Structure 1
Amino acid sequence: MDAMATEPLVRDIMHTPPVKVTPITPVNEAAQIMMDKGVGSLIIVDDSDNLIGIVTKTDIVREVVAKGLSRNVPVGNIMTKNPYFVLEDYTVKEAAELMGTHNIGHLPVLSRNNMKPVGMISKRDIIRLAPHYITLVYVLQSQVEKR
């Protein structure tokens, strides 16, 4: 039997539907959406629902709160543009490797069919649903930090 067939896939553990906003969404509104939905990040999409960025709670704290900026600043001003992402049929191991190598905690999940956002996967999802892979995330992350 193919070893990959037994590997859990991103689609099996991702949060769906993804929580999306546009780049003109004010930070205070984005923060409220995160609180209401219980998520730590939002996918930023254009008018055609294409992934253009991601914003996390950490981004809001670091780029808005700590710098004393207006809470009305658009998320497009602080988002990570062209973020790393995974496709829904990637293995959880591949997602964990990407997170560890690039020291990121959230990955948008795109559909292989149309490359539109269909979910989000986080380190917390991996810890909860595939805990044996979280070691991989932190081992790779520590190797990157030593460079």
Structure 2
Amino acid sequence: MQAQQIMSSPVTTVTRSTPVDECLRIIASSGFTVLPVVDESQHLVGIVSEGDLLREKFATLPRADVTAAETMTSPVVAMTADTDVSDLASAMLRSGLRGIPIVHEHDVIGIVTRRDLLEILTMDDTNIAREVQHRLDVYAGSRRWTVRIADGKVTIAGLALDDPERGVVTALAETVPGVADVQLTQS
């Protein structure tokens, strides 16, 4: 499974000049524990965590005019959309990070948090099958295809070998967290 399958996107970002108080409001309202910091070109330049912000707000001599630039961690660990989830988890555990921005070239396209990784671990086959079936039903109408699953391996029945929707059906199933493999069958 790759980062693009579990990342939150679009992601809320801040600039270097964003005041710490505004960063705190964004974190509190978004539910994220980290905010990527971008420059004028929307390129990733750092990351601000809730811990960074709390340390600043509860400093011995807190200042009202502190910005993200003064509290951010830089350089920041970032990965690409095709990064394997196990590599993301290893990086988070090694570094103590709570979230890793996902970039394309230098632009932030998403973020993977510890919560995203936990959701994968808690997806059992029944829930995975339910979510795959739901996505297929939304796409093509109720119960056009049948979904079976065993150990994260999804089998979708009801597609002819030359069905032009095979690629779409496969892609929809592959985006469900916990799906390890997708097989398509005619019946």
Same fold by TM-score, threshold 0.5 exceeded?
Answer: yes
Query: 1 or 2 for the larger relative contact order (CA 8 Å, sep ≥6)?
Result: 1
- Deviation, 1:70, is 2.2
CA contact (8 A) 2:10 2:109 kept: yes
CA contact (8 A) 2:34 2:98 kept: no
Q: Determine the structure 1 residue equivalent to 2:23.
A: 30
Percent identity at matched positions? 28
Letter in 1 for 2:114: K
SS of 1:118's equivalent in the other structure is strand
Picking from 59, 79, 87, the partner of 2:80 is 87
Q: Determine the structure 1 residue equivalent to 2:52.
A: 59
Q: Determine the structure 1 residue equivalent to 2:32.
A: 39
The verdict on how the C-alpha distance between 1:71 and 1:127 changes in structure 2, with shifts beyond 3 A counting, is farther
Q: Determine the structure 1 residue equivalent to 2:106.
A: 115
Q: Which runs of 5+ in 2 are unaligned?
A: 124-187
CA contact (8 A) 1:92 1:130 kept: no
Q: What is the RMSD of the two structures over their aligned residues, measured on CA atoms?
A: 1.6
Letter in 2 for 1:61: L
Letter in 2 for 1:103: G
Whether 2:106 is the aligned partner of 1:106: answer: no
- Deviation, 1:131, is 5.3
Return the TM-score normalized by structure 2: 0.62
Question: Take 1:116 and 1:67, find their aligned partners in 2: how far apart are those partners?
Answer: 36
Q: Determine the structure 2 residue equivalent to 1:127.
A: 118
Q: Which has the higher helix share?
A: 1
Return the TM-score normalized by structure 1: 0.77
Q: Determine the structure 2 residue equivalent to 1:12.
A: 5
CA displacement, residues 101-130 of structure 1 (integer Å, 9 cap, x when unaligned): 22211101112xx33100111111101124
Deviation >4 Å, runs of 4+:
none
Q: Determine the structure 2 residue equivalent to 1:96.
A: 89
CA displacement, residues 16-62 of structure 1 (integer Å, 9 cap, x when unaligned): 11111100000001111112222111110000011000001111112
Residues paired across the two proteins, number:
123
Question: Take 2:36 and 2:21, find their aligned partners in 1: how far apart are those partners?
Answer: 15
CA displacement, residues 69-93 of structure 1 (integer Å, 9 cap, x when unaligned): 1243111101001110111110110
SS of 2:29's equivalent in the other structure is helix
Letter in 1 for 2:4: R
